[in-house]
Structure 1
Amino acid sequence: MVAGSALLLGAGLGYFVRIPQRAIAAIMALGIMLQQTALKYTATGIAQALLATSPYICPTDRNGDG
């Protein structure tokens, strides 16, 4: 419930208020860092779900063995 509200609040704020590019870049960098941390420390299923929803391409091993 809180996450959904934060998403709507952020979307509304971004639509009506001009946000500096540096602030947007900092928020995106934080999101990428959190995704990479999830890849490192969580179960494979959760990490794959995060990768599937990421707008960025992360290099992977073609053999699938790590």
Structure 2
Amino acid sequence: MKPDEIKKLDAYFKRVLNPQIVVKARPRKNDSAEVYIGDEFLGVIYVDDEDGDRSYNFSMAILDVDL
């Protein structure tokens, strides 16, 4: 994922969900980014551009022990 995409996604998540969210580039991966609040990992944003239309999918796992 390009740095300008990460900036746009970071601003979107801050505006829509929580101002403390941070979107970071993933080491050794260029098709996704990681989402955090502070040191807490929330999930991964994946790029989907199969049909020529670029979209983003946010995946967040919730463990039973966290509930």
Same fold (TM over 0.5): no
TM-score of Structure 1 vs Structure 2, range by shorter chain:
under 0.3
The alignment's TM-score, normalised by the length of structure 1, stands at: 0.28
Larger radius of gyration: 1
Larger helix share, 1 or 2: 1
Larger RCO, structure (CA 8 Å, separation 6 or more) = 2
